[in-house]
Chains A and B, each alone.
Chain A
Amino acid sequence: MSDTDTGAALPRRRIDIAPALTPLLVAALAAPFIGSPSTFLTLTVAGLAMGMMIFTMASGLTLVFGLMDVLNFGHGAFISLGAYVATLVLLPLAAWSQADSLGLNLGVLLLALLAAGVVCAAAGFVFERVLIVPVYGQHLKQILVTIGGAIVAEQLLYALFGPQQIPLPLPTAFRGSIILGDAAIEKYRIVATFIGLLVFAAQILILDRTKIGLLIRAGVENREMVEALGYRIDRLFVGVFMAGSGLAGLGGVLWAFYREQVHASMGGELLVLTFIVIIVGGLGSVGGCFTGAVLVALIANYAGFLAPKLALVSNILLMVVVLLWRPRGLYPVSGR
């Protein structure tokens, strides 16, 4: 019988490569149209940086949906909140930001990120306990309630901080660009890419190497069976939700420095993009979210250069194309 014979062993953790290669495909397709290698490099780096920022914002949302089956339309509120926290951090530490020292500049950036992460995680705890717990399992009510929460949060931010745009200047060390041949690569973009990759690596490590990560991955697939194995997975929910909100806050900080301004509406605007990324990537998959974010960002940047009129709808087109190819996203989670 085939089950007991010693045929070839199954490959270890066979990963489906095709979807992961799509960003490379897109880059390869765009290159000849862009022409000049320096422009291509600038655009690609810009795309990678943007992708990392969006990934940071979106990864929490996809895990929350995958694990808890919760549609959080209020996720954008945490993005905005994180950005506002960054402005608060920079108030007393403006000197650090303006100083000509990489150490101090990096310090203030990291402090802003840390503060945003903590505040947004705490806000996430409140949001989950107050708004989400009463409507577990009811998708329609979740949509309505979280939209309500998003509106209230945005208005509260306006009430507390005022309706105007608040500037958030980049620390001195991160301003300007590095010149490589003909290409100008913005320094901040490199920093953001690096931070985003760190976030991705941390998530993968936690998911793959820790028991909690194991529980999350199993729970995303089949919550019931995890409970039947004796784990109170609803306690994990709060933690994951907080992590997701914290990550959204981090993404908000990165984005706010990128645009050098903060406004309560930025969360809502980025939310559509975040939804597109998690749909394209596959709900519940961190790897898919990463691929999706890079894909969306690259296309937005290439299209912005090649066909500006098309740029803003390019991600919708991407979403339609991906869903026609893989109706459940690039890396769907088994069993959903």
Chain B
Amino acid sequence: MSANLSLQGVHTHIGRYHILQGVDFVAPEGETTMLLGRNGAGKTTALRTIMGLWRASRGRIMLGDQPLAALATPDIARAGVAYVPETMAVFSDLTVKENLVLAARDGPLDDVRLEWIFGFFPALRKFWLSRAGGLSGGQKQMLSIARAIVEPRRLLLIDEPTKGLAPAIIGALIECLKEIKRTGATILLVEQNFRVAQEVGDHVRVMDGGRIVHQGLMAPLAADSQLQSRLLGLSLDSHQ
């Protein structure tokens, strides 16, 4: 049974605004698909629509052969989807531990899994019992990602994880994402940092004006700076 994520003809309206205007793509199972595009292209809206936080006004969203579009957000999560929002959304008044306990729906925290997470993000071990609101931006981002991987999930929706992070942390993040890939999860990653996109991404989908304007493998796009310039408005070099 495949666990591809597929969107067919998805439209999303927010109030009077027609943000997604017919999004079609497939994010293949077990691979990392980058969702790229200029600001305002609709990338975050696409993720939120898949997660059910905004309702698609038209179209189908399938995870494998399970339709997601009509489900409520908690049910989508229970279908095996994890979401790392752009705002990180860590619970500030809860401790790091409590944030992760909440994310570990299916049972108590798995020590082996935790050790694995601490391997990438040692700060989380150090601040285990500290209030999450006191963490730095980078640490909050780590926590947000840790929440998504504290238990195995079929699909990870990650929105701009490297925004505002120091380069060393980005390195740890890349390693983490590569490891997750090895566990066989499907990842849909929105990312402005093209270096990260290139290192982690297998496939690429470029959005503009609420639609997909380019699909393909990452490698060809990474090698073609003219194409990058046309689709993303700038090339690889200026985004480091």
- Report which A residues bind B (CB closer than 8 A): 1-4, 6, 9-14, 211, 214-215, 217-218, 221-222, 224-233, 333-335
Contact = CB atoms under 8 A, between A and B. Distances in A.
B90 to A, nearest CB: 8
Given A12-B129, A228-B53, A3 B139 contact: yes
Contacts of B98: 214, 218
A214 B53 contact: no
B91 A222 contact: yes
Interface in B72-125: 72-75, 77-78, 83, 85, 89, 91-95, 98, 101-103, 105, 122-123
Given A1-B169, A218-B102, A224-B53, A335 B92 contact: yes
Contacts of A232: 72, 74-75
Contacts of A222: 89, 91
A249 to B, nearest CB: 28
A130 to B, nearest CB: 22
Interface in B118-162: 122-123, 126-127, 129-131, 133-136, 138-139, 142, 147
Most chain B Cβ neighbours within 10 Å, of A3, A11, A13, A221 = A3
Given A217-B94, A218-B91, A230-B74, A3 B130 contact: no
Given A12-B129, A229-B105, A217 B91 contact: yes
Contacts of B10: none
Contacts of A215: 102
Contacts of B74: 227, 230-233
Contact of A214 (B83, B94, B168): B94
The 5 A-B pairs at the shortest CB distance, nearest first, are namely A230-B77, A334-B92, A10-B130, A225-B89, A227-B73
A9 B93 contact: no
Interface in B48-62: 51, 53
A11 B130 contact: yes
Contacts of A4: 122-123, 168
B1 interface: no
Given A3-B166, A221-B92, A224-B53, A9 B127 contact: yes
B73 A10 contact: no
Contacts of A12: 129-131
Contact of B101 (A6, A14, A214, A231): A214
A333 B133 CA distance: 11
19 contacts: A2-B136, A3-B169, A6-B126, A10-B130, A10-B131, A13-B95, A13-B129, A14-B131, A14-B134, A214-B102, A218-B91, A221-B92, A222-B91, A224-B53, A225-B91, A227-B73, A229-B103, A229-B147, A230-B78
A215 B123 CA distance: 24
B63 to A, nearest CB: 14
B123 A221 contact: no
A10 B89 CA distance: 20
A222 B133 CA distance: 13
Contacts of B131: 10, 12-14
Nearest to A4: B122
A217 B53 CA distance: 20
A31 B117 CA distance: 55
Given A3-B123, A232-B75, 11 more contacts: A1-B169, A3-B136, A4-B122, A6-B126, A9-B126, A10-B130, A12-B131, A14-B131, A218-B94, A229-B102, A231-B74
Given A215-B102, A225-B89, A334-B92, A9 B130 contact: yes
Nearest to B98: A214
Nearest to B92: A334
A221 B51 CA distance: 19
Nearest to B130: A10
A9 B123 CA distance: 10
Contacts of B75: 232
A334 B93 contact: yes
Contact of A228 (B77, B101, B130, B136): B77
Given A228-B77, A334-B92, A10 B123 contact: no
A225 B94 CA distance: 13
Contacts of B101: 211, 214
Contacts of B126: 6, 9
Nearest to A10: B130
Contacts of B135: 10
Most chain B Cβ neighbours within 10 Å, of A14, A218, A231 = A218
B132 to A, nearest CB: 9
Nearest to A229: B103
